[in-house]
Structure 1
């Protein structure tokens, strides 16, 4: 879901974190979210990865949510291929997009439609003050997708949106795009 689509959609969204992800990355920072999303956040802090997976699945069953974000640390046993497949099927059935962020995770089996490695990248120099930090930047590598070739980009925040550019070469987080409305199930094709 693009942010311009999210701007016209006033439904809330769900962000679920397990305890380890909360410790590593902190709670979502409302002022750092796009203005159209700030007042719509529902945050769940789960004690275990299994509790987080349960909350994600229940959130996906709720069509009153515009989308669901899950954040898990590492490669928890509970997030098996079967568990990821179950999330994919529930997301597809109910038409709720799911993004699963796996912090400090190794690549393993997943039923996600798109799999990305995302890590921080060097910021470009600031425009006015050479001693200030530059705008945030990320290196994004698409390493698995059914309908897209693999690729690598540098994403920069220009204050309005993310701008993609050519990559240069830093610890990666894995982002799984599990389902978007209109996607077909991996099991069917």
Structure 2
């Protein structure tokens, strides 16, 4: 009997024809468990986690959410990067932060899991240094299932860690990047900017972006300019040609 090729199923043909979805700020569908790998010598991991959390809350129309934000750190993470600076947080989060200083990674994982069960929280952010033995795939799976079961999102910052087995739905690498020069005052500090690489995601294709957080809005920088920069109203006035406006008025 001659061998004949079977026809491809319509589902496979359709999935192959559709382009992969690209991540961008402002998407409504955010995973409940994400990881951010960042060096401990800079605050890029915590900054990007906070920016992604605020972007998710804004996309879910929870920008005016008055619930608290839980921030959990183990002892080594606090020694490497320090505690969250309340004065440096966005003004709408300074009075809503609950900080938990855990002695060990085991205590930090316990606090994260218990926090994900509390519906009175807006989101949970965690910081764990290195690759502790307690953070196994089973422990990561417990965090994912708890977050999905209770509908609360978790951003776990991994300081000076190597990507290992994890059930996180989205995994990032973050590094600090030069801020764009402010438009109105070149001597003032620019908005926070990160080099963010999405190297694992279930719903999006991998990619790398220059992300910037200007006035609480996460955006993608292109051509070394912030997309969310304030408009330059100087170009709205067109120069006159020939006679001046006063001469035209007298005429």
* Same fold by TM-score greater than 0.5: yes
Runs of 4 or more off by more than 4 Å in structure 1? none
Summarize the alignment of residues 178-189 of structure 1 with structure 2, pairs less than 5 Å apart. Answer: none
Residue 78 of structure 2 aligns with which residue? 22
1:44 and 2:100 correspond: yes
Residue deviations 1:13-34, cap 9 Å, x none? 2100000111111111222222
Summarize the alignment of residues 45-60 of structure 1 with structure 2, pairs less than 5 Å apart. Answer: 45-60=101-116
2:181 to 102, 122, 125: 125
2:157 to 97, 101, 107: 101
d(CA) in 2 for partners of 1:157 and 1:13? 19
Summarize the alignment of residues 1-189 of structure 1 with structure 2, pairs less than 5 Å apart. Answer: 2-4=56-58, 5-127=61-183, 128-129=185-186, 133-166=189-222
Residue 178 of structure 1 aligns with which residue? none
d(CA) in 2 for partners of 1:56 and 1:142? 23
Residue deviations 1:48-85, cap 9 Å, x none? 10110011111111111111111101111110111000
Indicate if the aligned counterparts of 1:17 and 1:70 stay in contact, CA closer than 8 A: yes
d(CA) in 1 for partners of 2:207 and 2:174? 12
TM-score for both structures, normalised by structure 1 = 0.81
d(CA) in 2 for partners of 1:64 and 1:126? 37
Q: Which moved more, 1:156-165 or 1:70-79?
A: 156-165
Deviation at 1:158, TM superposition (A): 2.1
Distance change >3 Å, CA 167–CA 107, structure 1 → 2: farther
Task: Name the structure, 1 or 2, with higher relative contact order (CA <8 Å, separation 6+).
Answer: 2
Deviation at 1:103, TM superposition (A): 0.8
Give the alignment's Cα RMSD to 1 decimal.
1.9
d(CA) in 2 for partners of 1:6 and 1:30? 21
Q: Which moved more, 1:38-47 or 1:2-11?
A: 2-11
Distance change >3 Å, CA 63–CA 3, structure 1 → 2: closer
Deviation at 1:122, TM superposition (A): 1.9
Larger Rg: 2
d(CA) in 1 for partners of 2:206 and 2:170? 10
Distance change >3 Å, CA 39–CA 7, structure 1 → 2: farther
TM-score for both structures, normalised by structure 2 = 0.62
Structure 2: where are the runs of 5+ without partners?
A: 1-52, 225-251
Indicate if the aligned counterparts of 1:6 and 1:36 stay in contact, CA closer than 8 A: no
